Amino acid sequence: MAAPDFEKPSVNGKARPRLAVDGVTLDYVTRERRVRATQAVSFDVLPADRFVLLGPSGCGKSTLLKAIAGFICPTAGAIRLDGMTIRGPSPDRLVVFQDFDQLMPWKSVRQNIGFPLRIARGLDRRAAEDRANEVLETVGLSNFADAYPHTLSGGMKQRVAIARALAMEPKILLMDEPFAALDALTRRKMQEELLALCEQTASTLLFVTHSIEEAQIVGNRVLLLSPHPGRVRAELDCGTDSLNSLGSPTTQQRGQHIHRLLFEAPT
């Protein structure tokens, strides 16, 4: 019986990518030296994809996310959103980080969500509050609309950060190891909630993690990056993996295959 072929992502070649990363090399320049973070990385993210960047520390995952967010410019290559070259930050691309201090402590949960809507989207106060109330209901935090960040648990703060990003209706949501600092049970609950939100809102997601299991749970497509400097090692279809399939032979085999690709030297 032939071994499963995991490295054939089910991508419709005719679909226009939401995000196109084309031969992107990224460098950090200091007074002493130039450090190469990624080398000629290319991939496409389609609308409604849950696309995961997976690799060991130092492979350039977070640096790539910063470049896609528009915070740093590629040394070589190009990054395009809906065919337009990215040249700086934009509300079309919003980042949720892993640290819990993303919220303004002097504003309530509702105000934290409404403030960027007023500044970046130009909504008046009433419209911003209405939109904030909508997304708070979506993430199950309606009862905490008037609470302040210091009264919330870590998981709840992350839900508010996700709600704030979703309220802006970005073309792509960027998440940089958003659950890494959570305890195991809260992390699992947040993974479940994120998947439900993606299905409900048809959001396009680019998610960074160093956890093989999390990559399989969250992503329908997973890009593996080699150690420093980051290069594309493989792209895999994980669309059939889920929280419910973690114990299945196929999901376990795929996880073992990913582990070999990441940590065993190519033959």
Per-residue pLDDT tens digits for 149-162: 999 988 888 889 88
- Which of 4-18, 22-36, 200-214 is most confident? 200-214
Per-residue pLDDT tens digits for 40-81: 999 999 999 999 999 988 888 999 999 999 999 999 999 999
Per-residue pLDDT tens digits for 168-212: 889 999 999 988 888 888 889 889 888 888 888 888 999 999 999
- For the chain, the domains span 19-92+171-263, 104-169
- 3-class DSSP state of 267: coil
pLDDT of residue 266: 60
Q: Residues in the chain, how many? A: 267
The model's pTM is 0.88
> What integer is the mean pLDDT of 86-104?
86
Structural element, H or E, at residue 23: strand 19-29
Look at residues 198, 197, 204, 218 and name the one whose alpha carbon lies nearest to residue 141: 197
pLDDT at 90 over 70: yes
> What integer is the mean pLDDT of 137-160?
90
Record: fold of 19-92+171-263: Rossmann fold (3.40.50)
Structural element, H or E, at residue 84: strand 84-85
Look at residues 236, 235, 240 and name the one whose alpha carbon lies nearest to residue 217: 240
CA angle 245–183–137, rounded 5-degree value? 80
Q: Which residues lie across from 209 on neighbouring strands? A: 54
Give me the residue label for tokens 């040249």: 87
